[in-house]
Amino acid sequence: MGRLLQLLTRASASGAWWPGCPEFSLADAVPSVPLKVLLVVAHPDDESECAATLYRITHGLGGVVDQVIVTNGAGGQHFSAPGLEYYGLSGSPGVAKALPRLRRREVMRAGQIIGIRNHYFLEQDDTGFTLDPAEGLRSWNLPWIRRQLQHLLQCEGYDLVLTLLPTRDTHGHHKTVAMLALEAAAAMPCDARPAVAGVRAASPAGGALPVFHELDGFPGTRTTSGAPVWAFDRRTPLLRNAALDHSIIVHWVIAEHKSQGMFQMEYGRNTHEYFWQFATGQERWDGLWQRFGEPGPVDRQLAGAEAA
């Protein structure tokens, strides 16, 4: 781990596990060996796409979640005016330099809510919105990123790697990061390879979910099914108080990212977090379900009872 600490910019979320919180003492079974999950995303705020599931893993299953953020977030200025006014930076000539530091603080606070153990910041250029995955391939230090991801996977022995689902209509950086995460997992020996899933938040009331088999031209993103294999309903009650649900956690997380104006419009829009299983690492899935503590009503939702 010493070499990893030198290679990566690492920040531990102080108190992120909240051991004194009553919700940390659970009635459902917790595995003797904690489930270990790595979230690999492009931007500081992407963790919100699966915030409810991550919170369930850390606070309901006694699991561990780490996060890799590939870009510095400097490109997120297009809808930032209300947030910059809130932070007293409106009209400031130094916004471009201040935004990455600001977004890092935001994602650290959001990570504390979720219970993220470690954040790894790779500080690659955020070139702004694009649908083209080649933009990240051209702009980033790909050999270095691959080495960091592979070393982290080897050191930590994660059970599951999560990325955002690289659909045709999503941000090009999300597509690039998903490909890099899948490459890193595929480079590991089969018996050590983690399961890998792509997540997309949506609402059943918002229309049909995308049918995703792979990103055109990138066969490494192939999934085992065009439909999601499992889902988590953000309206699932919190274990501490059944009158409250996991959407509260998502709202808290979104609220931390005040620099991202359009992002704030996501409040209440998506009710479910859907997960597609990538072919890479599929041999780990059967054992993975057992780690979610089945049977139990919340765990059956995680295992796909609502994904049909």
Give me the CATH number covering residue 221: 3.40.50.10320
Alpha helices in 123-171 (DSSP H): 134-139, 142-156
* Residue 280, in any domain of the structure: yes
* Residue 124, in any domain of the structure: yes
User: How much is the pLDDT for 32?
Assistant: 57
User: How much is the pLDDT for 132?
Assistant: 84
Q: Which residues of the chain have pLDDT under 50?
A: 1-30, 294-308
Residue 137 belongs to domain spanning: 2-12+35-302
User: How much is the pLDDT for 162?
Assistant: 97
Portion of the chain with pLDDT greater than 90, in percent: 56
User: How much is the pLDDT for 10?
Assistant: 38
User: How much is the pLDDT for 2?
Assistant: 36
* Residue 29, in any domain of the structure: no
**Long-range contacts of residues 181-187, Cβ cutoff 8 Å, at least 24 apart:** 181/40, 181/149, 182/220, 182/221, 182/278, 182/280, 183/146, 183/149, 183/220, 184/146, 184/149, 184/150, 184/153, 185/153, 185/161, 185/280, 185/281, 186/220, 186/280, 187/146, 187/150
* Residue 254, in any domain of the structure: yes
* Residue 80, in any domain of the structure: yes
User: How much is the pLDDT for 256?
Assistant: 94
